[in-house]
Each structure stands twice: as structure tokens, then as C-alpha cells.
Structure 1
Amino acid sequence: MAIPRFGEIAVIGVFDSGSGGLTVMRALEHALPTESFIYLGDHGNAPYGNRSPADIYGLTLRGIERLFGLGCSLVIIACNTAAATGLRQLQQTWLPHKYPQHRVIGIIVPMIEAITGMPWEAEAAPMPPSDGNPALHVAVCATQHTVNTGAYVTEIAKRAPAIRVSQQACPELAKMIDDDAGDDAIRPFVRAYVDELLARQHDVPDVCILACTHYPLIEHLFREALPPQVKLLTQGEVTAASLRRYLTRHPRFSAAPSSEAPPATVYLTTGDPRHVSAVAGRFYGRVVAFQGIA
């Protein structure tokens, strides 16, 4: 099946190592119904978390270049592992020299923006630090790889150093979700991770960031395990709201509404499109048909 071309219409690329980014894609489509998107899941090389930083960076560049070649001038990295490992490096070195008119943004800084109030442009250029809310205590639940990079700790500290951040690795959850484990199987793991997080603290966090695109599927289990006063933030809705503001500031990346070219989304995978399509509905909330890309 041929990959549709969008001609002169602006199209936004969304890149992920697999299917988790579909929870972000779903929120983007809902918040921006007049935009067109190409989603590329690198299922053929997933999972990224088991790879070296150099491998992750190389695969991320390759995926972004594919999306650029399909007509995307703005790409969102909807993968915490890829964004945490190399987004700042590619923004500061690779992109300005090879694709100076294109932009790549990620899903980590929109969460930082929501916590600190600093704008998305801070992802591409340093911003003056803010005091933020000095009493705020933020918990980050993520994969082991994302925790190891310290990306959330570093980026929050750059913008609002007074905010206290606690991290909790949840190494089993993403694989269990990929394997379609039920709530009864996953619930004890979520409870154990939350209990471990709380046991290390002198107080209850004010906010908990679910810093993995798989976790919206088990948000209700985190809600059960956390104290009721803890506010939960998931990446899809936060990223969508931030992208909407970004496109307002940078309209050249946005598609002008046109009856002649209605918005559309194309789903591509480097893996087996039949298998990916069969499992994607759990992340997306509806059936989607992926096409293979070499």
C-alpha cells in the first residue's frame, strides 16, 4: 500500500519506539482536529530501553529523517527514552546544520512546563530559572532507563531549582502492558512501586508524573495506590495542550483548515504491520491500520 502524500499541507510527525506513543497521538488528534499527522513506530527495533545511548540516538535520528522525508517539518518525539537520551543534543548540533528549517520537540519538557510554568521554547534555548513553588514536591514514575537519565530532575532544576523531585523506577510495567497483562496482575506491582516511593519520603508528593507513554492505560491503578490528594499528570493531554500553544506561536507548522484537504493521520511501523495493528487498539482506543515502512 502506498503511503499517502500530503502535498503542500503542513503535516506533523510523531515518532516513538513502539506503540506507547499512541496514547500521545490520541490526545493530539483530539486536541488538534484540523491537523494532519504521520505516526511512525519503530517496532522493528523496540524496545529502546535495552540499547546503548549511541544506538538510541542513531535510531531516533533515522526515524526523524524518515518523517522529514515524508513531508513533516515538525516532529514530536513521543518516547521518553529517545527524548531523554538525545533530544537536546540533536536540537543543538544535528538539526541546525542538517535541517535548519525543521523542528523536533519532545514530550518531557511539556511536563516540565506544566510543573514550572516555563514555556516550551525552553526545550530549544536556555531560560532564566524560576523559583517555582518552593513547597512543591513532584514524584516521577518512569521506566528504569528514564530514571537513570535523570532527565526530569535535570530539566526541572534548570527552570525551578526550588522544586523537589523524587523518582521511582517501575521496570516491569511497560512490558506487562505490552504483554496485555490484566489489572489483577499489574495492580500488585503498581502498589509496590508506589509504596517504595512513599517510604523514602518525609511527606506525600503534591504531584505524580506518569512519565511513560504506556502508563495512561493503568492510570486508574496509580490512582488507587497513591494518596487521594496527589495530582496525577499524564503526558498525552499535557503534550497536546502545549503543542496547541506552540502552533499558535509558530503557525507555519500548522495546517490551515481546508475543505479540499481534510485532516488525516497515517500510521507507519518498521515492524510487522498486521501484528502492530492488532495490538495498537489497546493504546489508541480504536482500531488503527498500520503500514510497513522499510
Structure 2
Amino acid sequence: MQQQAIGIFDSGVGGTSIWKEITQLLPNEDTIYLADSKYAPYGKRSKAEILELSIKNTEKLLGFGCKIIVVACNTATTNAIKELRSMYDVPFIGIEPAIKPAALHTKTKKVGVLATKGTLSSELFAKTSDLYARNIEVIEVIGKGLVELIERGQIHSNEMHKLLFSYIAPMIKKNIDYLVLGCSHYPYLIPILQTMLSSKVTIIDSGEAVARQTQAILKSNNLLTTNTKSGKHILYTNDNVDTLVDILKSSTTDYSVSRLDF
């Protein structure tokens, strides 16, 4: 099992932000990534639909022999990971908005959270917020339409800039000093967000923390590869290959991209 790949899935290309962190921290590990772009975004789907899609992706990755599954999707984590862990024997790594560090370090006591409807309305998000942000004002905004634009390769479009600013403006008025990104697609918007926000606002995403947790779980389960060569990385999409290729163009990791029906 040590030489088997790390399996990663997301509701599209956004989870590649997590994939990049994992491949940087664990360069000798093989990875298999599923971009479930055909069904993106998960955030507007019901809990039952999200669970069904998460099971489908998990089954595909297990079919490839993956030794661990990273759910590189906030919505799938908050709505399905509990069930996935009860159904399968392999370890699962999830991703959820990093409310805790923002709540602990905010000076203005105002924290913004930009996420999908599926994440913000989930039980797990509510529990995390209640636990860490009781004395903090959390300005929650649903990033409606952002995932769709990213999936269409329109990160730098005028439509994206206008839409993103309309979501960030209420947070600026509230004087937030932390912005938590609650969707794995959103780290690709950080350069645009930095032009809209004061330099005093810290933007937090969960990618690095997920990579560290993946490493820790592999180690504790004696699943770290003994391979000393660079890992092999295969990324699959069930929609437009060009979108996945385009979003990976800045990656320095060797990889292959293919279309796959799943």
C-alpha cells in the first residue's frame, strides 16, 4: 500500500490548489486527481446529491488502488465525509474553512468568510463557528457564480471582478482583518482579492494545512512511500480538458491530464 497513489477529488478544477500543496510537501508520492467538473458546483446541490457524488468519486479512486482519499472540496467535506469514513476503511482527509486561526488572531473582531451555500449551511461549519467564533462577528457571503466562472476559465474576466467585488464590499465596510476562503476554487482568486483588500487583511485558505494533515495521517498509518524518485501525477476531468490544463499551467510538477467519464 505504501507505493499506491494519494487519491484526491473535487467538484472541478479548484481542488488542484490542494493538489499543488500536497505535491510540494510530498514530492515522492504518486497522486491521482479527479475533477468532477460535469457536476460542478456542489455548493448548490442537496446533501443527498453531494453524498452520492462523493461516493462515486471515492469508488473511482479506490478502483485505481488509492491508499488515502483527500476530499479537496469544502462542500463535500462538510456534507459527506462523516458518511464516507463510516463506509470505507481507507483514511479520509477533509477540508473546511479555517475559521479557527482567523478567530484566534483577529484584532478587529470581524472576520469574513467567502464560501458556497453548501458549506455555509452545513452542520459541520455551524459547529466550527460556534466553537471558535462566539465572540467574533463573522460576515458570511455565498460566492454564487464564482465556481462556474473559474470552471469556464474566466478568472480574469470583467464579470469575475465585478461579482467578486460585490461579495467583498460588505466585508470591507465591516472592517474585517481576516478573509477565510471556504472553497478550494477560491485560492485562484487571491491575486484579484489582494487588489481589492487592504494590505492589513490576511487571506486564509486551507491548502497547506490539508497537505500537512495528509502527511501526518500517511505517517501514522505507515503509508508514506519509500520511493525516492519524483512521484507520478495523473489528473482526470469529466468535462473540458482545456480548463484543467489552463489552471495548471503555472505548476512546476510533471503531470498528465486526460478526459475520463465518471
TM-score (norm 2): 0.84
- Summarize the Cα distance change of 1:253–1:241 in structure 2 as closer, same or farther, 3 Å threshold: same
Post-superposition shift, 1:172? 2.2
Post-superposition shift, 1:73? 2.5
- Summarize the Cα distance change of 1:229–1:89 in structure 2 as closer, same or farther, 3 Å threshold: same
Q: Paired residue for 2:92? A: 104
Post-superposition shift, 1:208? 0.9
Which residue of the other structure, out of 135, 147, 160, is the alignment partner of 1:186?
Answer: 160
Q: Paired residue for 1:266? A: 234
Distance between the aligned counterparts of 1:137 and 1:255, measured in 2? Answer: 42
Post-superposition shift, 1:50? 3.5
**2:41–2:148: 8 Å Cα contact kept in structure 1?**
no
Post-superposition shift, 1:54? 0.6
Q: Paired residue for 1:242? A: 213
**2:181–2:204: 8 Å Cα contact kept in structure 1?**
yes
Q: Paired residue for 2:247? A: 283
Name the SS for the 2:199 alignment partner. coil
Which residue of the other structure, out of 191, 203, 213, is the alignment partner of 1:232?
Answer: 203
Which residue of the other structure, out of 59, 68, 83, is the alignment partner of 2:62?
Answer: 68
The CA deviation string for residues 12-46 of structure 1, in whole angstroms up to 9 with x for no partner, is 11011211111211221112101111111223333
Which of the two has higher C-alpha Rg? 1
Post-superposition shift, 1:281? 2.5
**2:93–2:210: 8 Å Cα contact kept in structure 1?**
no
Which residue of the other structure, out of 14, 24, 43, is the alignment partner of 1:30?
Answer: 24
Post-superposition shift, 1:149? 2.5
**1:52 correspondence with 2:84:** no
Name the SS for the 1:40 alignment partner. strand
**1:195 correspondence with 2:183:** no
**1:10–1:254: 8 Å Cα contact kept in structure 2?**
no
Consecutive unaligned residues of structure 1, counting only runs of 5 or more, are 1-6, 117-131
Which residue of the other structure, out of 117, 125, 131, is the alignment partner of 1:158?
Answer: 131
What pairs with 1:74-223 in structure 2 (closer than 5 Å)? 74-91=68-85, 94-95=86-87, 99-100=88-89, 102-108=90-96, 111-112=98-99, 114-115=101-102, 132=104, 136-149=109-122, 151-158=124-131, 161-181=134-154, 182-199=156-173, 201=174, 204-223=175-194
Post-superposition shift, 1:115? 4.6
The CA deviation string for residues 162-205 of structure 1, in whole angstroms up to 9 with x for no partner, is 45433111212222222233343322222221112344x3xx22
Taking only aligned residues, the RMSD between alpha carbons, in angstroms, comes to: 2.7
Distance between the aligned counterparts of 2:210 and 2:73, measured in 1? Answer: 12
Distance between the aligned counterparts of 2:100 and 2:231, measured in 1? Answer: 28
**1:190–1:225: 8 Å Cα contact kept in structure 2?**
no
Post-superposition shift, 1:60? 0.4
Which residue of the other structure, out of 211, 224, 238, is the alignment partner of 1:254?
Answer: 224
Distance between the aligned counterparts of 2:11 and 2:198, measured in 1? Answer: 32
Name the SS for the 1:252 alignment partner. coil
TM-score (norm 1): 0.76
Post-superposition shift, 1:291? 4.2
Name the SS for the 1:83 alignment partner. helix
- Summarize the Cα distance change of 1:178–1:43 in structure 2 as closer, same or farther, 3 Å threshold: closer
Post-superposition shift, 1:143? 2.2
**1:9 correspondence with 2:24:** no
Distance between the aligned counterparts of 1:31 and 1:220, measured in 2? Answer: 23
**2:42–2:118: 8 Å Cα contact kept in structure 1?**
no
